[in-house]
């Protein structure tokens, strides 16, 4: 079993280096020997280490760690009356601080809403990336963007399939703003039937005592 795990680990590392475009030098055997040896360029290895290690941008995620309650509103369309929403959310750092995992649950339109999200900072792309799935859809919402330290706001744009409109890639935008150590606000926007952007959701998070 250990040898199998080691082989799988080496295979994944090799695939990662290839996909990242790093140099892999093939060292051919000397006369009288058999077999080939693959050696990683030390300079490329160091670059790989830097790009796969959490850094200063990842520390922004620490702000959102903890157990929270939330209250908010959402709008099905620009003319709709706002619907209230409440619930709880647990945010934890995973994989050595590389990603923030969000687990949310609360009542929604007579049912129990559940969702899971992941947000991290991609060192290669130089931006924050997120993915979200929940119990009221079958698609995966993806988005990316930047954090503004001056306003303490993470702004991201992306798209998701929409069961209400039938859009396969409905564009959207979101802002996640830190108010203080115990409060933050999330706001999302999407495109209405007229093609104009409107506020679709606004949530206020409060840290549990």
Confidence at 35, pLDDT banded by 50, 70, 90: low
Q: Residues 48, 104: one domain?
A: no
Q: Report pTM.
A: 0.79
63 in the same domain as 47: no
Q: Could you say which of 36, 52, 68 is where a domain stops? A: 52
Q: Average pLDDT, stretch 7-32?
A: 41
- Tell me which residue has tokens 């495109």: 191
Please report the pLDDT score of residue 27 as a whole number.
Answer: 39
State residue 165's pLDDT score. 80
Residue 147: how many CA atoms within 13 Å on its side-chain side? 21
pLDDT given at position 43:
85
Please check whether residues 46 and 101 belong to one and the same domain: no
Q: Same domain, yes or no, for 68 and 9?
A: no
Q: Is the pLDDT of residue 191 over 60?
A: yes
What is the overall mean pLDDT for the chain?
A: 84
As a whole number of angstroms, the distance between CA 57 and CA 140 comes to 24
The last residue of a domain, from among 16, 36, 52: 52
Q: Which helix (H) or strand (E) holds 49?
A: helix 42-51
On whether both 93 and 192 belong to a single domain, the answer is: yes
Is 40 found in the same domain as 122? no
Q: Kindly report, residue by residue over 134-153, the tens digit of the pLDDT.
A: 998 899 999 999 999 999 99
Domain holding 75: CATH number?
Answer: 2.40.128.20
My answer on whether 81 and 166 are in the same domain is yes
Looking at the fold, whether 146 and 194 belong to one and the same domain comes out as yes
In which band, very low, low, confident or very high, does the pLDDT at 38 lie, cut at 50, 70 and 90?
low
Over the stretch 170-186, which tens digit does the pLDDT of each residue have?
899 999 999 999 999 99
Residues 99 and 170 in one domain: yes
Q: In this prediction, what percent of the chain has a pLDDT beyond 70?
A: 81
The tally of domains found in the chain comes to: 2
Query: How deeply is 132 buried, as exposed, middle or buried, from its count of CB atoms within 10 A (0-12, 13-18, 19+)?
Result: buried
The answer to whether 107 and 113 are in contact (CB under 8 A) is yes
Domain with 88, as residue range(s), is: 57-207
Same domain, 48 and 134: no
Q: 86 and 104 in contact (C-beta within 8 Å)?
A: no
> CA-based angle 176:180:183, to the nearest 5?
60
């Amino acid at each position: 079993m250990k040898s199998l795990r080691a082989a799988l680990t080496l295979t994944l590392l090799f695939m990662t280096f290839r996909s990242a475009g790093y140099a892999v030098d093939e060292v051919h055997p000397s006369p009288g020997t058999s077999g080939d040896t693959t050696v990683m360029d030390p300079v490329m290895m160091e670059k790989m280490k830097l790009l796969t290690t959490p850094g200063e941008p990842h520390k922004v995620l620490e702000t959102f760690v903890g157990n929270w309650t939330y209250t908010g509103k959402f709008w099905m369309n620009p003319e709709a009356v706002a619907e209230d929403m409440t619930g709880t959310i647990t945010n934890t750092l995973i994989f050595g601080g590389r990603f923030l995992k969000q687990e949310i649950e609360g009542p929604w339109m007579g049912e129990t809403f559940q969702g899971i999200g992941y947000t991290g900072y991609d060192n290669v792309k130089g931006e924050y990336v997120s993915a979200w799935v929940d119990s009221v859809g079958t698609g995966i919402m993806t988005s990316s963007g930047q954090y503004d330290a001056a306003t303490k706001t993470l702004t991201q744009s992306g798209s998701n399939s929409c069961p209400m409109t039938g859009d396969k890639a409905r564009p959207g935008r979101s802002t996640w703003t830190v108010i203080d150590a115990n409060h933050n606000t999330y706001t999302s926007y999407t495109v209405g039937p007229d093609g104009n952007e409107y506020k679709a959701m606004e949530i206020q998070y409060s840290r549990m005592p």
